């Protein structure tokens, strides 16, 4: 991107508007940090009382400063922010950081004022961090800027970090220093009126002092833009994110299976996964993972070797590695024979390698080198327990020495020592991440391998299928003219069929005689389903009858159906019945679409049938999806094993199932007003392995659909 944020992140001159000599004020603290950290440029504190702060001359107004100013840090009352921005514009300042609070976080009045602030920022072609933020930091030698009021002065490093929460940002900065994890740049975006996480992703993508990016997100304002920029950035650098709000309720009053299963956090999870962002669930996990990326190369595969001086932790590590989807490496015979030459007779040279409690420092060195040289090993976990008076710091220094000599593979150390050891190790420069437990190390390794998978992942394509778009317009327009946003089962199947989705043979019947006639054409056995503009879930009233094998049985079932409806007072709600071929197959999947108010359409795939909402074996992706997204989606559910042909069944036609999801994706791109859609079940045929839609349910946004179809009508001259 252009270097338009340089005025904020790499300024040569900073004005602190609201600077104060009074201790305990934000204006005083920011001046203190800038001077204490040794800002390399010029400082111009602004305060009507003038004087001097920390040995720096104070100016009454910014217009009194003769020199050019790149950045203005504003720490005044909220009602003074607008006139201050006007003065900054006269001074031709392009970078603004508004520390001041009292904007949209306080309610309607504050939100309106924030809009006015942003309007001026746009008018003056400025860029702004905040309002309501902690400030910004750049530790680079040529800048040395701490324009924040966080407690601790930052430790220089290669990790950039942004936070929507100022308080949490300050806490994370403190923790990063305690853990010896250096920061390159820090931005507290606050209300993110102008500069957002997306802006910073683009800026940091090519920032030479930044090797990895940490995000704390409470919301994603522009999911499409976030996804685009994340995909670009994560191919170059790891991006690790905490997305708060995991327990947020899903879409309200969702009536479809997809809608009831989808939720805001599932949408965020899908978006982050599709964008290559590594999601963590806590600050602790963020640092654990960040330490691994700061000290390890990306592994070439998922084969892990474990070396230990105690059997129990080795077994625990093995379990953790496998549970995280990694593999225990099969060591070469050459490696095992070499280890036998020096390890004690009681030692085990299988993976995990148990050197036993009496292993001296020399054994750690030789074993680690042997595992590094083994071509069957992609990553190594070194485990140490404080046994036989071997000093943990000596073991750590040995591991770091060997890592320095052999940087090509990730090496992660598990030191099951006292907390004193970690306090000591965090004070020195390290090239290996150190953890206290095997499970933590295994999780960090899994995140490293996730990056390997992402970097090797193809970009993916969005195929375009030939479809009957006109037919769909006609079907939906007819429902709208009747004042309905809910399509009938028959209408829903017509829409699916128009987009090339395999549906079972079907026909509509108004009465029992028509039903018999259509069943005779299709051939028994058949399924009979009610279709109604008023009845949504058919199974709840016995409106789906399967396994009808003869005309006589069909007539009896039709009569019984009418009696059930009459008992419920719903006899007038029946529009007719659908007669369908009966697809034989025990494997029932579900495909669906839900609409999230922030993320848009979500695609769903998973185990279907009557247990869809009970077992919740489903996967989501944010639309539009690529063929690669869909492949990952289908393979991520536990029910994928059923598709592969468990219990002697023929394998499902996986490519055809994937194509069904891609066709649904195209459908909602063409008709964005579709709110919810379910194909449940998508039955896997015992004969062909095809995924066949035997039922469908579609709901549209009535007002949006009406508006869009009127546009279609004008452009096409139809409807």
Please give the residue that has the higher pLDDT: either 172 or 272.
272
What is the spatial distance between Cα 693 and Cα 495, in angstroms, rounded to a whole number?
Answer: 12
Mean pLDDT for 706-712 is 84
Q: What percent of the chain has pLDDT over 90?
A: 77
CATH architecture of 6-210: 3-Layer(aba) Sandwich (3.40)
Tokens coding 345: 């007779």
Q: Is 199 left (phi over 0), alpha (psi -120 to 50) or beta?
A: alpha
Mean pLDDT for 98-127 is 96
pLDDT at 257: 38
Using alpha carbons, select from 12, 152, 143, 130 the residue that is nearest to residue 76: 130
- DSSP class of residue 486? B
Tokens coding 328: 């225990």
* Residue labelled with tokens 């004020």: 25
pLDDT digits (tens, 9 = 90+) for 74-100: 999 999 999 999 999 999 999 999 999
Residue 79 burial (CB count, 10 A): 10
Q: Is 656 left (phi over 0), alpha (psi -120 to 50) or beta?
A: alpha
Vertex 462, ends 459 and 463: CA angle to 5°?
130
- The sheet carrying 576-581 orders its strands as 506-509, 576-581, 526-531, 544-548
What is the spatial distance between Cα 692 and Cα 684, in angstroms, rounded to a whole number?
Answer: 6
Residue 710 burial (CB count, 10 A): 13
Q: What is the DSSP string of 324-384?
A: TT-EE----HHHHHHHHTTS-TT-B-SSSEE--TT--HHHHHHHHHHHHH-TT-SEEEEEE
Dihedral Cα 354, 358, 364, 367, nearest 10 deg:
-40
User: CB neighbours of 175 closer than 8 A, spacing ≥ 6?
Assistant: 283, 287
Residue 140 burial (CB count, 10 A): 17
pLDDT at 202: 95
Distances (CA, A) of 674 to 19, 207, 718: 54, 41, 21
Using alpha carbons, select from 492, 458, 533, 535 the residue that is nearest to residue 680: 492
What is the spatial distance between Cα 38 and Cα 111, in angstroms, rounded to a whole number?
Answer: 36
Using alpha carbons, select from 212, 203, 214 the residue that is nearest to residue 243: 214
Residue 511 burial (CB count, 10 A): 11
pLDDT digits (tens, 9 = 90+) for 270-327: 999 999 999 999 999 999 999 999 999 999 999 999 999 999 999 999 999 999 999 9
Domain ranges of the chain: 6-210, 297-456, 505-582
Mean pLDDT for 137-150 is 95
What is the spatial distance between Cα 529 and Cα 549, in angstroms, rounded to a whole number?
Answer: 15
Hey, is 391 helix, strand or coil?
A: coil
Distances (CA, A) of 113 to 79, 98, 118, 443: 9, 13, 9, 45
Tokens coding 682: 């998508």
Positive/negative CA dihedral, 529, 533, 539, 542: negative
- Say if 6-210 and 505-582 have the same CATH topology: no
Q: Are the C-beta atoms of residues 193 and 110 closer than 8 Å to each other? A: no
pLDDT at 254: 37
Vertex 488, ends 482 and 490: CA angle to 5°?
120
Taking 50 as the threshold, does the pLDDT of residue 249 lie above it? no
Tokens coding 545: 């009858």
What is the spatial distance between Cα 544 and Cα 551, in angstroms, rounded to a whole number?
Answer: 17
Q: Are the C-beta atoms of residues 386 and 308 closer than 8 Å to each other? A: no
Tokens coding 576: 């007719």
CATH architecture of 505-582: 2-Layer Sandwich (3.30)
Tokens coding 663: 């066709």
What is the spatial distance between Cα 269 and Cα 620, in angstroms, rounded to a whole number?
Answer: 9
Altogether, the residues listed in the chain come to a count of: 719
Using alpha carbons, select from 186, 191, 281, 275 the residue that is nearest to residue 239: 275
Q: What DSSP element (H or E) covers 661? A: helix 654-670
Q: Are the C-beta atoms of residues 189 and 220 closer than 8 Å to each other? A: no
pLDDT digits (tens, 9 = 90+) for 400-437: 999 999 999 999 999 999 889 998 998 899 999 999 99
Q: Is the peptide bond before 624 cis (omega within 30 degrees of 0)?
A: yes
What is the spatial distance between Cα 21 and Cα 567, in angstroms, rounded to a whole number?
Answer: 82
Mean pLDDT for 247-251 is 41
- Bridge-partner residues for 146, per DSSP? 137
**Antiparallel, parallel or unpaired: β 183-188 and 434-435:** unpaired
pLDDT digits (tens, 9 = 90+) for 350-367: 999 999 999 999 999 999
Average pLDDT, the chain: 91
Largest CA distance in the chain: 102
Using alpha carbons, select from 466, 472, 467 the residue that is nearest to residue 719: 472
pLDDT at 698: 95
pLDDT at 405: 97
Q: Are the C-beta atoms of residues 136 and 195 closer than 8 Å to each other? A: no
Taking 70 as the threshold, does the pLDDT of residue 716 lie above it? no
Q: Is 534 left (phi over 0), alpha (psi -120 to 50) or beta?
A: alpha
Q: Is the peptide bond before 681 cis (omega within 30 degrees of 0)?
A: yes
Residue 216 burial (CB count, 10 A): 21
CATH 3.40.50.261 correct for 297-456: yes
Taking 60 as the threshold, does the pLDDT of residue 261 lie above it? no
pLDDT at 2: 55
pLDDT digits (tens, 9 = 90+) for 506-565: 899 999 999 999 999 999 999 999 988 877 666 678 889 999 999 999 999 999 999 998
Exposure string (b/e) for 392-412, b if CB count within 10 Å is 16 or more?
A: beebbebbbebbeeeeebbbb
Dihedral Cα 164, 170, 172, 177, nearest 10 deg:
150
345: confidence class by pLDDT, cuts 50, 70, 90 = very high
């Amino acid at each position: 991107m252009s270097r338009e944020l340089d005025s904020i992140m790499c300024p040569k001159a900073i004005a602190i508007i609201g600077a104060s000599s009074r201790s305990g004020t934000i204006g005083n603290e920011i001046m203190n940090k800038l001077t204490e950290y040794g800002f390399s440029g010029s400082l111009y504190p602004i305060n009507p009382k003038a004087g001097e702060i920390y040995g720096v001359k104070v100016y009454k107004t910014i217009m009194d400063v003769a020199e050019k100013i790149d950045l203005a840090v504003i720490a005044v009352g909220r009602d003074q922010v607008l006139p201050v921005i006007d003065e900054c514009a006269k001074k031709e300042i392009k970078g603004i950081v508004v520390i001041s609070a009292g904007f949209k976080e306080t309610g309607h009045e504050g939100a309106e004022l924030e809009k006015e602030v942003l309007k001026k920022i746009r008018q003056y072609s400025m860029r702004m961090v905040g309002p309501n933020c902690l400030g910004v930091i750049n530790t680079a030698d040529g800048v040395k800027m701490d324009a924040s009021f966080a407690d601790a002065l930052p430790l220089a490093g290669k990790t950039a970090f942004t936070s929507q929460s100022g308080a949490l940002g300050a806490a994370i900065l403190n923790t990063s220093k305690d853990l010896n994890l250096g920061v390159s740049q820090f931005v507290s975006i606050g209300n993110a009126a102008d500069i957002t996480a997306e802006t910073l992703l683009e800026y940091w993508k090519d920032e030479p002092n930044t090797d990895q990016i940490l995000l704390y997100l409470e919301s994603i304002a522009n999911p499409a833009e976030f996804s685009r920029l994340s995909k670009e950035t994560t191919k170059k650098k790891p991006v690790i994110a905490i997305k708060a709000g995991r327990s947020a309720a899903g879409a309200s009053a969702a009536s479809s299976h997809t809608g009831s299963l989808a939720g805001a956090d599932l949408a965020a999870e899908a978006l982050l996964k599709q964008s290559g962002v590594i999601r963590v669930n806590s600050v602790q996990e963020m640092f654990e993972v960040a330490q691994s990326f700061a000290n390890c190369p990306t592994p070439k595969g998922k084969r892990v070797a474990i070396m230990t001086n105690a059997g129990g932790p080795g077994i625990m590590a093995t379990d953790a590695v496998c549970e995280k989807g990694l593999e225990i490496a099969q060591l070469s015979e050459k490696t095992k024979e070499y280890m036998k030459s020096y390890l004690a007779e009681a030692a085990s040279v299988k993976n995990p390698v148990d050197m036993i409690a009496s292993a001296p420092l020399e054994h750690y060195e030789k074993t680690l080198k042997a595992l590094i040289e083994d071509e069957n090993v992609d990553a190594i976990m070194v485990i140490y327990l404080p046994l036989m008076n071997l000093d943990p710091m000596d073991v750590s220094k040995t591991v770091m020495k060997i890592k320095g000599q052999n940087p090509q593979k990730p090496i992660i150390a598990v030191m099951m020592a006292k907390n004193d050891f970690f306090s000591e190790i965090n004070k020195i420069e390290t090239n290996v991440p150190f953890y206290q437990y095997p499970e933590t190390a295994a999780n960090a390794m899994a995140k490293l391998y996730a990056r390997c998978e992402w970097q090797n992942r193809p970009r993916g394509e969005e195929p375009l299928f030939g479809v009957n778009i006109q037919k769909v317009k006609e079907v939906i327009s007819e429902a709208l003219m009747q004042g309905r946003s809910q399509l009938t089962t028959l209408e829903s199947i017509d829409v699916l069929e128009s987009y090339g989705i395999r549906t079972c043979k079907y026909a509509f019947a108004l009465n029992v005689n028509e039903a018999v006639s259509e069943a005779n054409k299709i051939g028994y056995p058949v399924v009979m389903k009610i279709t109604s503009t008023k009845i949504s879930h058919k199974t709840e009233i016995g409106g789906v009858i399967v396994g009808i094998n003869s005309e006589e049985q069909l007539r009896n079932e039709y009569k019984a159906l009418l009696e059930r409806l009459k008992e419920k007072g719903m006899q007038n709600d029946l529009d007719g019945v659908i007669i369908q071929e009966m697809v034989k197959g025990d494997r029932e999947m579900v495909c669906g679409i839900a609409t999230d108010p922030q993320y848009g359409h979500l695609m769903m795939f998973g185990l279907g049938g009557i247990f869809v909402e009970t077992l919740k074996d489903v996967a989501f992706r944010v639309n539009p999806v690529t063929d690669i997204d869909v492949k990952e989606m289908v393979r991520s559910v536990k029910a994928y094993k059923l598709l592969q042909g468990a219990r002697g069944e023929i394998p499902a036609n996986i490519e055809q199932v994937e194509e069904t999801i891609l066709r649904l994706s195209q459908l909602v791109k063409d008709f964005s007003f579709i709110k919810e859609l379910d194909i449940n079940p998508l039955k896997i045929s015992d004969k062909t392995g095809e995924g066949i839609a035997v039922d469908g349910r579609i709901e549209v946004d009535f007002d949006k659909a009406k508006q869009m179809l009127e546009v279609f009508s004008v452009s096409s001259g139809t409807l």
